[in-house]
Amino acid sequence: MNDLSRRVFLRYMAVLGLVAFSASPLLAKGTKAQYKYQDTPKDGLVCVDCMHFLPETNECRMVEGSIDPQGWCAAYYAKPKKK
């Protein structure tokens, strides 16, 4: 009987984990304040050169709201250079 209740418990926990995981947004964005966003470049680094920047909509995958292509934030990560 002990094995059966352990199986039931583990199955219950697995289902509960899947429900919790599927209920949380995977692509939640942070605020401009959280990422220290500024509308000006920092040390020559600009959003347009960042892999998170979406130029067709002036949006960022990490930061909420409209993003200036010449801005900068702490989530900056340079696009990989093509060979």
**pLDDT tens digits for range 13-22:** 888 777 666 6
Segments making up each domain of the chain, as ranges: 2-60
Long-range contacts of 77-82 (CB under 8 A, 24+ apart): 77/50, 77/51, 77/52, 78/45, 78/49, 78/50, 78/51, 79/49, 79/50, 79/51, 80/51
pLDDT of residue 32: 96
pTM beyond 0.85: the answer is no
- Give the pLDDT confidence of 26-47 residue by residue, as tens digits: 567 899 999 999 999 999 999 9
The confidence score (pLDDT) of residue 28 equals 78
pLDDT one-digit tens code per residue, 46-58: 999 999 999 999 9
